[in-house]
Amino acid sequence: MAQSLYFTFVLSCLICGSYGLVSSGNGTTTVRSVDYNAATAVTPTERRDSTTKPSTTQSSKSINAPAVRLTSTTTSKVLTTTTRPPKTTTTANYSFNTEDLNEGIDKKVEKRVWNKEPEDEPLEFECPPLGLESLRVKDPQLRASSYKRRGLGPHRGRLNIQSGIEDGDIYDGAWCAQYEDKKQWLEVDARRPTRFTGVILQGRSSIWSWDFILTYKVQFSNDTLVWQPAMNGTKEAVFEGNQDTETPVLALFNESATVARYIRINPQSWYENGTICLRAEVLGCTLPDPNNIYAWQQTEQGTKDKLDFRHHNYKEMRKLMKSVTEACPDITHIYSIGKSHMGLKMYVMEISDHPGKHELGEPEFRYVAGMHGNEALGRELLLNLMQYICQEYKLGNQRIVRLVKETRIHLLPSMNPDGYEMAFKKGSELAGWALGRYSYQGIDMNHNFADLNKVMWDAIEFDFQNNDKSKLINHYIPIPEYYTAEDAFVALETRAVINWMQNIPFVLSANLHGGELVVTYPFDRTEDWAPHDDTPTPDNSFFRWLATVYASTNQVMSNPDRRPCHNENFQRYNNIINGANWHTVQGSMNDFSYLHTNCFDVTVELSCDKFPHASELPIEWENNKESLLIYMEQVHRGLKGVIRDKDTEAGIADAIIKVDDIDHHIRSVADGDYWRLLNPGEYEVTVSAEGYNPSTRMCRVMYEHYPTICDFRLTKTPKQRLKEILAKGGKLPKDLQLRLRQLRLRKLRASTKAINSRLPRKRPPTSPPTAAHFSANEESCAAVGKMHSTCSKNIGKMYFSKFLV
Burial class from Cβ neighbours inside 10 Å (0-12, 13-18, 19+) for residue 515 reads buried
Q: What's the angle, vertex CA 609, arms to CA 603 and CA 611, rounded to 5?
A: 90
Q: What type of residue sits at position 479?
A: I
676, 659 in Cβ contact below 8 A? Answer: yes
Interatomic CA distance for residues 750 and 664, integer angstroms: 33
**Closest among 324, 340, 590 to 451, alpha carbons compared:** 590
Distances (CA, A) of 109 to 8, 490, 499: 30, 21, 23
162-192 residues labelled b (16+ CB within 10 A) or e (exposed): bbbeebeeebbbbbbbeeeeeebbbbbbbbb
- In 242-344 the beta strands, taken as DSSP E runs, fall at 249-252, 259-270, 277-286, 332-339
Cβ atoms of 453 and 595 closer than 8 Å: yes
For residue 600, is it left (φ>0), alpha (ψ between -120 and 50) or beta?
Answer: beta
Query: Dihedral sign, CA of 377, 383, 384, 388?
Result: positive
Q: Give yes or no for a contact between 37 and 430, defined as CB atoms under 8 angstroms apart.
A: yes
**Alpha-carbon distance 426 to 17, whole Å?**
13
Do 169 and 208 form a contact (C-beta atoms < 8 A)? no
Which of 246, 605, 616, 620 is flagged as catalytic?
Answer: 605
**Which one-letter amino acid corresponds to residue 641?**
G
- Buried (b) or exposed (e) across 362-389, using 16+ Cβ within 10 A? bbbbbbbbbbbbbbbbbbbbbbbbbbbb
Task: Please give the radius of gyration of the chain, using alpha carbons only, rounded to the nearest integer.
Answer: 34
Q: Quick one: which of 585, 442, 425 has its CA closest to 511?
A: 585
In degrees and rounded to multiples of 5, residue 409 shows phi and psi of -105, 135
Residue 204: Cβ-neighbour burial (10 angstroms; 0-12, 13-18, 19+): buried
Distance between CA atoms of 446 and 444, rounded to whole angstroms? 5
Contact indicator for 280, 159 with CB cutoff of 8 Å = yes
Phi/psi-derived region of residue 563, left when phi > 0, alpha when psi is between -120 and 50, beta in every other case = beta
Distance, CA of 796 to CA of 18 (rounded, Å): 95
Q: Which three-class secondary structure string do you get for 588-656?
A: CHHHHHHHHCCCEEEEEECCCCCCCCHHHHHHHHHHHHHHHHHHHHHHHCCEEEEEEECCCCCECCCCE
Beta strand 213-221 pairing with 277-286:
unpaired
Question: Hey, how many other C-beta atoms are within 10 angstroms of the C-beta on 117?
Answer: 9
N- to C-terminal Cα distance for the chain?
86
User: Among the residues of 215-270, which ranges form H helices?
Assistant: none
Known catalytic residue at 240: no
Number of other CB atoms surrounding residue 707 within 10 Å: 25
What is the Cα–Cα distance from 712 to 673, expressed in whole angstroms? 10
Task: Of 804, 805, 802, give the one whose Cα is nearest residue 762.
Answer: 802
Listed residue (404, 343, 371, 339) closest to 510, CA to CA: 371
Helix axes 734-758, 718-728, angle to 10 degrees: 130
Report the catalytic residues.
Answer: 605
